Amino acid sequence: MDQRPIGVMDSGLGGLSVVRLLHQRLPHESVIFVGDQQHFPYGTRVQDEIRSFALIIGKFLVQQNIKLMVIACNTATAAALTLLQKELPVPVIGVIQPGAVAAVSLPYHDRIGVIATESTINDGAYVRAIKSLSPKTTVLAKATQPLVAIVEHGQTGTLKAQRAVNEQLAVFRQKPVDGLVLGCTHFPFLTKEIMQTLGPTVAIIDPAGETVQLVARVLTKHDALATTTDKGQLTLYSTGAASDLAAGARKWLGKQDLTSKHLALF
């Protein structure tokens, strides 16, 4: 019984793929979303830098009186989850462990592919998380950083997007996998293109589903689910171009009245 909002962050609009599912599964929860477009992309930055951005955003969200934070960014989860869990006075949830749980829950998970940013792949977080749950699984991890900008710049559904996906995912045609983890929150917005490239036999895993289940479990445990019958509110902040985030949110969340505010945090 806690009407306070859930705080969500990403480097850009990818985190909206998690917000979308939060709204579907927990429709009474309010959300404050921060897209750090000023520092986009995170995937080519060093982890120290990502950690400091994530901590500043986390502290801002705590000032907004959130009850829980979701790092809806795999790159920031790999770099900063432990730090934020230590520093912030609210529960903090990342997307990598949920993604790994979803991968090993597939009926066939002998060979799992992971696509993510350069930083997430270099960190090795997914390989560690999947292997610790299922040591026999072979994990094929591939950095597909160019796909991030395609989504952020609104180019999904174009020939350019399909070509980039074909090129970036070629390795999974040569070395087939049972499932592919979308290890960057921007990638669920390229699901059509990815399915077109890999065909129907590869299971596509969006960590958002398992992440939102974890949010529900943690809120239930703390007796902190929203009890109102009203729909939750969504407040959007961008550290960069607020109009770009609003346009992305209208497109991906299907709500034409969404607006975004600029946040001068840095």
Residues that bind ligand DGL (CB under 6 A): 10-12, 14, 40-43, 73-75, 117, 120, 148, 184-186
What CA–CA distance (Å, rounded) separates 118 from 11? 14
Unique residue bearing structure tokens 């072979």: 138
Q: How far is the CB of 230 from ligand DGL (least distance, A)?
A: 30
The minimum distance between CB 21 and ligand DGL, in angstroms, equals 14
CA distance 51 to 59: 12
CB closer to ligand DGL, 33 vs 42: 42
Of these residues, 181, 184, 215, 234, which one is catalytic? 184
The residue assigned the tokens 């020939």 is: 159
73 is catalytic: yes
Instruction: Supply the minimum distance, in Å, between the C-beta of residue 159 and ligand DGL.
Output: 23
- How big is the chain by its Cα radius of gyration, in Å? 17
- By beta-carbon proximity to ligand DGL, the closer residue of 145 and 197 is 145
CB closer to ligand DGL out of 54 and 226: 54
Confirm whether 12 is a catalytic residue: no
We find the least distance from the C-beta atom of residue 226 to ligand DGL, in angstroms, to be 26
What whole-number distance in Å separates Cα of residue 255 and Cα of residue 28?
A: 16
DSSP letter string over 122-183? Answer: HHTHHHHHHHHH-TT-EEEEEE-THHHHHHHTT-TTSHHHHHHHHHHTHHHHHS--SEEEE-
Least distance CB 55 / ligand DGL (angstroms) = 17
Q: Which is nearer to ligand DGL, 66 or 125 (CB)?
A: 125
Catalytic site residue from 50, 69, 71, 73? 73
Residue 208 has φ and ψ, to the nearest 5°, of: -60, -40
Nearest residue to ligand DGL, scored by beta-carbon proximity: 43
CA–CA gap between residue 250 and residue 150 (Å, rounded) = 17
- Annotated catalytic sites, by residue? 73, 184
